[in-house]
Amino acid sequence: MSKVFVTRNWHPNAVKLLSEYFSVKVWDQPAIPTSEQIINSAQECFAIITEFDDKITSDIIKSIPSLKVISNRAVGYENIDLTAAKSNNIKIGNTPGILVETCADFTMGLMLDLARNITFSNRNVLDGKWISFDQTPYLGTDVYQKRLAIVGLGQIATSVARRAVNGFNMNVSYWSRTRKTQIESELNLNYVDDINELVQNCDYLSIHCALTEDTYRIIDKEQFDLMQDVKLINTSRGPTINQNELINAINNGNINSAALDVTDPEPPNHKSEIVKHPKILITPHLGSGSQETFNKMAIMAAKNIINVYQNKNMISEVVIE
């Protein structure tokens, strides 16, 4: 019977589904498996289900000659050496689409949190600093009818824009490597072809682009210096912004506050300035983390493997150039 290795013990429903076709081995330790542990655990395996922080290197791929499928329970796949996978005829699966609305909900939650100082005020309650009815230390701003700038206009960003326009009557502008005229027309979005122009004309800035060589630190000192009291939300990947410059921009007043669901590195040192800063909210990569979506992504990752085993197309296969 063919074997499958699952790198976390988080997905009982997916394991149950896989067990109908395979002998399934699940990593059951609290710590993330090391490269050596993945190699040892996945020997003779047809496939593995990985998480986005499993670094699947060329050494791992070459050390598991039986491997035919890597099914990443994530949309991104930068954790996998695609060149090594292609040269060893390994198919790569991912799980897009399912998490779109969940991530959009979470993005709006972060925006509202920054706007109304929800986490900031709660910290003061926990610290015993709320001693009388005095709203003045916590006065925030509205979201309704404010200007939102979006970097990248994929599925998640489009759903954020739809919520912003239909729910909060926001004025939404966006930058994207590919202009989306149909979405512009549907939601009355304003396309801006220059990042610098985009960031200097907004109240809120939400980052949604994929991490590539072109988008690495797409928001850096030059862009921060152009902003004026902006509230920044990043639910894409940590390296799309320069975190050191973000701190400087907050201290200088260019950025009002920031909510980061992704960081660089991830997780950050819990004693670092970015974690301790009173104007920065960091969440542990929770954008897709609803119970329903978490389970659906794992099931999709399992079905990607089953489909290859049955000589069918994956639900979502990463095309390696």
Write the DSSP assignment of 202-241 as a string of letters.
-SEEEE-----TTTTTSB-HHHHHH-SSEEEEE-S-GGGB
From the CB of residue 146, how many other CB atoms can be counted at a distance below 10 Å? 19
Residue 166 burial (CB count, 10 A): 10
The catalytic residue positions are 237, 266, 285
pLDDT tens track for 10-47: 999 999 999 999 999 999 999 999 999 999 999 999 99
CA gyration radius for the chain? 21
Peptide linkage before 96 cis (omega within 30 of 0) = no
Please determine, for residue 320, whether its predicted confidence score (pLDDT) is greater than 90.
no
CB 261 within 8 A of CB 286: yes
Entry field: residues in the chain: 321
Query: What's the pLDDT tens digit per position in 244-255?
Result: 999 999 999 999
10 Å Cβ neighbour count for 245? 20
Contact 255/248 with Cβ under 8 angstroms? no
Give the architecture (CATH level 2) of 100-282. Answer: 3-Layer(aba) Sandwich (3.40)
Helix (H, G, I), strand (E, B) or coil at 266: coil
Q: Are 148 and 171 in contact (CB under 8 A)?
A: yes
CATH class of 3-98+291-309: alpha beta
Residues 56-98: tens digit of each pLDDT: 999 999 999 999 999 999 999 999 999 999 999 999 999 999 9
Q: How confident is the model at residue 164 (pLDDT cuts 50, 70, 90)?
A: very high
d(CA 70, CA 174) in angstroms, rounded, equals 34
Query: What DSSP string runs through 13-42?
Result: HHHHHHTTTSEEEE--SSSPPPHHHHHHHT
Domains 3-98+291-309 and 100-282 share a fold: yes
Domain ranges of the chain: 3-98+291-309, 100-282
Q: Which residues contact 320 (CB under 8 A, 6 or more apart)?
A: 82, 83, 85, 86, 92
Residue 321: is its pLDDT beyond 90?
Answer: no
Rounded Cα distance, 209 and 218, in Å: 9
Q: Looking at the whole model, is its pTM more than 0.85?
A: yes
Per-residue pLDDT for 306 more than 90? yes
